[in-house]
Structure 1
Amino acid sequence: MANANKEATARIKINKLLEEAGWRFFDSNEGKANIVLEPNVKLTTSQVSALGDDFESTQNGFIDFLLLDERSAPLIVLEAKAEDKDPLVGKEQARKYARAQNCRFVLLSNGNLHYFWDLTQGSPYVISRFPGPDSVAGYKKFEPNPTKLVAEVVGKDYITLTQLPNYANEAGWKNEAERPDFIEKNHLRFLRPYQMRAIQQLQVAVDEGQNRFLFEMATGTGKTLTAAAIIKLFLRTGNARRVLFLVDRLELEDQANKAFVKLLKDDAKSIIYKEQRDEWRKAEIVVTTVQSLLFNGKYRRLFAPTDFDLVISDEAHRSIGGNARAVFEYFIGYKLGLTATPRDYLKRFDAAESKSRDPRELERRMMLDTYRTFGCESGQPTFRYSLLDGVRDGFLINPVVVDARTDITTQLLSDEGYAVLDASETENDDDEETYFQRDFEKKFFSEGTNRVLCETLMRHGLRDPVSGEFGKTIVFAVSQAHAAKLAQLLNEMADTLYPGRYQSDFAVQVTSQVPGAQQYTINFANNRLLGTANVLPEYRTSKARVCVTVGMMTTGYDCPDILNLALMRPIFSPSDFVQIKGRGTRKHNFLEQLFDQDQKELMREPNKTRFKLFDFFANCEYFEERFNYDEVLKLPARTTSAKRDDDFGGGQPTVGNYEHLDPDAVRTLQEQHIGLEGMKIDRMFFEKFEEQVQADDELRRQVETGQWQQATEHLIKVFFDKPQEYFNLEKLRRAAGLDRRLTVREVLEKAFGRIPSFKSKDELLEEEFDRFVLDYKPADAEHIVAMKYFFKAYITDGHLRTILDDKNLNGLYTNPSFGMMDYEAVPQGWRNRISNYIKDYVPLNRFL
């Protein structure tokens, strides 16, 4: 009887999954039935009702499924097993049946664990959702040929031949004197030798049967150009119909799409998903942020596992970090990761002695997960090209490191005061989770410390070789409040040093709370931020000389004429350090910005040969073993007294107040519980809220452009806790009848139609478990039900977490929701694995 129940439960789940994917048991307005039950018996609705839960059983065991295409021809064989059976045990049986039915595809499922198998392409692949009829019909037309991919010749003009196929016959190319201008005029891009080697290494890996690749390439070495060549390689050889390019930041979304349009527009159509939601099937390249797909499990609703044949993850350790990896693993096909962060940066960190929430430990796990995801557990990527390689080959520039520390910054380093971005939780680059930072906030925000850092930068920074003014600079602050203070100080100093020249345009705060900040970053790179010239009219360079940011200008920001970088915060993340350092490594010829030929001829050193990296917190010492600093500055000693800061002539108190600009969390309200008679009022309450929100044009613009932090702040400021209706998250949750906490992001998504409804606690738990399965692909399929029960209980039962974390297993005998028998049903090797996964990747607040 128990086995029959498990069979029936599995079948019920499988039926639901089929219907959710668009398959039909019966004829309907949507089309003819496209599910046939073996042995070729179609059941009527009345027959199904009469059989009840046992309709799937026959004398010979399970009735399996045959899924049909639009012509009612066999398309997929679905082999179903009971919940306690591994779906793979039916693999060979399904293969025989599929061949007999002339089917290329097989689904294997026990209701909880599912595999999709293309019989022409390797082994079964774990999936979390069944593909629908249209998706599989399109995939059926796709017949990849790895041999053709391996044999494709990729020369240095591989991309150029797409941009201008007949370039070699053009007069401008044939004339060597005119060739540089011809290349620049047509924006032609040629692959460098190391980029061709990267592609060749991928071809070797494909020839060896691999389908996952990881490129570790230093910032400034052209990862996007390399990715474009690989996309062309897969599309041209028929090994991909459509490519998904994942980024982890909004600004990189637009940057990547523009690059693909420029490089591949004659061979492939590239779009940003959010801008052309209804047209994505017509494109060969779809660019999106991983966070937008991850939110509320959107990727499962929007796409089938078979919709993309090549998935590329830019800055892979960030864009597939944490539970974002589930998006990456969801799709069947080839996977390529791109990263600029060398795994070697983790070698001096003793993870065994770290605290569990230490950002270095988070970074270590993220990096190790990345290498594991791409099949590089040994630490050797498919291809590696380091900063040192780029410098040696003449493509990049090493920094001149300026070691500048005050006694306060040195103390803070030893006291472990720092902040780290938690990229798995937010799309916004300026949201930081802080650790051990109470002293840091008080001391670092004092006027004296900020002033000495700015004075040091102004005194020792490199100058522009053409105009002689202060070189273009990026300053990295610890928070938005700190960025505002630094920008103000730098502008005050510039007014003193260069009277009347800048009018407070010398330094600009570039953080998410500043309107138009994203455009500021673009204008700074294009040399038109607050003006295009301030010293020489014929020289195009940004009037604003310094951008003060927190995280907006770290990853993927290309501004080659940067001459100074200033780390006015400690950094413990290897990826952040590498990205920030990489902002200055690109070479540049300043003559490109000068339009006076006579002055060009007078220039002796027009090329950028160095840049300065001002390090006020020994970040370089932390990441670079035995690093010989190019320049060591002895800064004024400072007192750690909390009285006055007379050493700097400012007379300011050393201990300042930390200024927190982000909105407070929504208040918790005590309200009388509303009975059933109040449910209609509740619904009206929520509808009234949505009507008011939808009428706010500024909020709508922020949502449509993906400015989620600004939208969140606007919603809270304008609509929450006002006397008229007193909207807040708790009242909205009750009005929606939801059994868990709501987030502001969810409320916005629902109000503007980005999600059809709020998901229940159990629906979110199911999604989280699906992500876990996609990541770890458990072979203990017969224990999958017990593992899921443990997974859900550990998330929702705080008492159970305490029992297990304290290793007080006797407490399981009296725990009502999850007892000792439940615990013992979970294989021993999976108990800690599940709990550790939840600690690292599942935000528990969502389930309260």
Structure 2
Amino acid sequence: MGTILSKKQMSEEDIKLQYITPSITSKWNRAKITMETRITDGKINLKGNFVFREKPKRADYVLYLSANNPIAIVEAKDNTHSISHGLQQAIAYAKMLDLPFAYSSNGDGFAEHDFLTGQEREFGLDEFPTEQELIERYKKESGITPQQEVAIEQPYYSSQNTYPPRYYQRIAINRTVDAIARGQQRLLLVMATGTGKTYTAFQIVYRMLQSGLKRKILYLADRNILVDQSIQQDFAPLEKVIHKINVTKDDKSTITSHEVYFSLYQQLVGDDDKEHFSELFLPDFFDLIIVDECHRGSAKEESRWRRILEYFKSATQIGMTATPKETKYISNLSYFGEPIYTYSLKEGIEDGFLAPFKVINIMTDIGEGWRPRKGQRDINGMEIPDRIYTSSDYDYNIIIEDRIQQVAEEITKYLKSTDRMAKTIVFCASEDAALRMRNALANLNQDMMQQNPDYVVRITGGDDYGKSKLKYFISVAEPYPVIATTSKLLSTGADCKMTKLIVLDEMIGSMTEFKQIIGRGTRLREKEGKTHFVVMDFRNVTRLFADPDWDGPIEMDENYHPKDPNGYGKADPVQPGVIKEPPASYGIQKPIVDRNGCKVQIIHKTVSVYDTNGKLLRQESIVDYTKENIQGEYASLDNFIRQWSAHEKKEEIRDLLHDRGIDLELLKADQNMSDVDDFDFICHVAFDKKPLTRKERANNVKKRDFFSKYSGVAREVLEALLDKYMNTGIYEIEKTEILKLDPFFKLGKPAKIAGYFGGKQGYLKAVKELEKAIYEEVVS
């Protein structure tokens, strides 16, 4: 018996089942084939107030050399397409997955693209290369050495609790292992914050130890919390062979017995500038050194890790960073060379592994400038130097108390309208500004402080209490602290997975620091309810998104001056006007201006949604966005009123706007108009009509004597419905289920109540008339 369908009628799934799968499985071991392989998680989209995921990318077939080495991809199409129709897509996926071979098929034959030779060809259905043929071709064309073969064959570490590497982690691991096997000594990996750099490093270390290519490994970081986090989490499977270096306690005769060593650079080169590493280890002791976050720090820190790396120069050295751009302090590019792999923030958001974000820009009326009155004095009676102060002065050179108050009020208002337990980091200009901000937020959130005094905490380098709370703040399980005010401590490294709101109230001078700060929010925790985050910007820092460096190519910085020890040289080119806060020892007292001396108002808010390139998808005041969408849907006020009256269920209009990302309830709350009907709110926002409250509308119905034509129970029912409308709005009274609720159920079952109106149709007609009366003065 032939097939039920002709080939041209078959779906892609049929073609796979009948033709493509049999021709591949006749040549390949089934254990080395996966189908419908999920590559990405599907980008998370933000639409107004809504969040939804796009479909993940999937590959029809992936063929493997070994568990961690996919070698080819096959893209299937139905038979109405040509053999090579899916080849472009297969090539795109193969490039993304770093595979040497791409194939497409429509069930008549295969088209092949070979990345190693650049050749393309087509062949018959029964000529698909066997496993052995393809592996031989791969080895020959790529010129693989025996040492590379050994490294390739080492599997990843896997267990019940370890997830298999995502595609980009696999590429980063494989390219690194391969480069080391080829003898490359200096390597740079660039991976955006939140994409699992430490996990990637762990897999590299594990495979190096397993294959015997490296036996003694040093992992360098610059924060204790990063070292401890790494040892306890990603590196936990190697705990038996790990040692955390402690120069005061370690004995050089016994320290050599471990395999993986963790250390802070600051430990290995003491504050006394002594080279402790040379007291403990010989120069050729380590085979491999990994430098975590190698972009970070000042010239002083840089010289520290440079000295360590130069001492152990015979070791293979890997630099890992999220932000490879050079600054005037650090040139990791000139040291480690070009990255062997880059996975950017942009790609992470596109693939759905990182959280997207929107930006709320908030302007105060003094943002562009404030000038004191002639002879104006501050709260201490000191005369305020006469000049124009701008955003780069507030909290740096002058303290305007009401500005701090307004910022704190905006943050509080936002959290109250969304989620008061959303983890929030407020970046302030200085430790002092972080304390003022903490106090202002504490006063505005007394109800939350009453539940837990750690609702808002200052977490800065100089605040011991705050520092002791850092581990609770970054914990996914611990609810408190909710809001952390900080000046620099949280801009890098500390892994705050649940951060949903980042507030920028400090001037940021460099793109590197800006990327690091944005990186604090990019981690996704969908199960715990975090799908995206919001950046609230009071200093117009987010204009840096428009900078070509945002996620652009890596480039050398002309102003790279490694000999600038304190960073009080010229500001980064990004922001020429930034006034750096002078060190406290300068003895300059800042003027403090209270509300009587300078009253501050918020004058403008815009909400922007950026795409993954940091390009503006749209920018709108939420009200304008709503207005535009409503006007697009309903050309005129009359048209809208007609549609509203004609709709059987008014909810459909609300749902239509919902799909556009407009949440009327949230908007009304924001405008203090919760007591207004959606109908009035739409007329007000889109067509500038003066809104009536629901109470005013209900009273108008009573005044018109609408109820006189009804009597007895029927009248009672309609009066109760009008009451319901006044309290909850129109949608509730349109539902017949309402009759099962208080106060109606006292009058009998729904069928009995309908009987007072002559049956169900009569009841529905009476409700329609009531609705008409509610909106009457507009319709007439």
Q: TM-score by structure 1 length?
A: 0.42
Point out the structure with the larger helix share: 1
User: Highest Rg: 1 or 2?
Assistant: 2
Relative to the length of structure 2, the TM-score reads 0.46
Task: Return the structure number with greater strand share.
Answer: 2
